[in-house]
Structure 1
């Protein structure tokens, strides 16, 4: 009887151990594709803006015995190599700079760029491009240079292959190009509605918004990015009202700017 009890106890321990496999801080062992596709709003490019460096993730570090140096500045940074993407396994977990990874956001991981950094990523296989915000470290594979969010990979049409050759171009204040149209000299409060790497989309967006409001719209080109803004709007209450309307109409990243 004693031997039988011992066998039963040993069996239970084995079963329990098998049911509680330890995958570290993640709930699943292998990464996987989300159950739904990104929405139109989730496929909008990240909107570059001036940000201070994150407190976390900007020191030199070592992973798997290899030492990585973090760049002091992203100015003039370009790189060509293989891109991969990461999804459901990492969704909801902390990124290297302490934010929460959202696989439907326009974000990315890079081994050396300062956090955060905005970059334009172009799929060299089909010439599709996207603007993402780098807020994480990786990918720690010798042949890959950037890990993209699910939405970014979807927009670049690289999900079937898993990886693709890309070109990365950092977007910084020093890479500002001449404006696409003549810049307004009128100072005041504006709303930046939308930003995209596609000039045609920017023009169509500008036309659509100008038909809705009495205020002029303007397209500004900054590096590889086209920004659509509305204004100037003197009345602060009206500005707030228009801002809320725009956010509810599919422009959640719209925000107030002062010139």
Structure 2
């Protein structure tokens, strides 16, 4: 029996200009598109009018389609011989439950491929004009989330994180900013370590807020937004405030003073 194929496509952080050529082509060829709530509106305009559109939600704190229903509908669409695009914000393999969806397809013998996308931490560092690593100073990058699942509570090893020479990028951090900062201080990071809060990265409402770890832990720095929030912590971010000031001419950049 002939059946369809599923393309897992990274939509990047939101700006349609940051899509890969391959991602844009796959979206334009789709017969059914399952997309996350965080996919940028300009990207959704690339979906052909003939294609079936299915919003699955996947936004922290908001109602979303249950994962088992997403799996089942992906399988059904592929079995009906459709060319299916599963459009995920950022990179499909980064906190996107990709393994659950590919496993469901594999159970039914459905083929798939993965088109990577720019993840939020890379876009945030670029917006701030800073590197994620620096030779002899920051040797790596660690992507993290403090979100838990019903099966297992997420409890990072804060002391281990504090001891590494890394830039830390916390996804889905909006509701836990002071708690993350306090835990990192308790783990051993120094109080004046630079941080950067990034809201709605790459979108017109993008906002960068540099500061220090102790300021975040004490509540001196805060947010009042429903936008997606990424928290970055590390030595290279010391350049963020200066870089942001130099780029105030950019129409997509807003900088809030700490």
Could you tell me the TM-score, scaled by structure 1's length?
A: 0.27
Which structure shows the higher helix fraction? Answer: 2
Higher Cα Rg: structure 1 or 2?
1
TM-score relative to the length of structure 2: 0.27
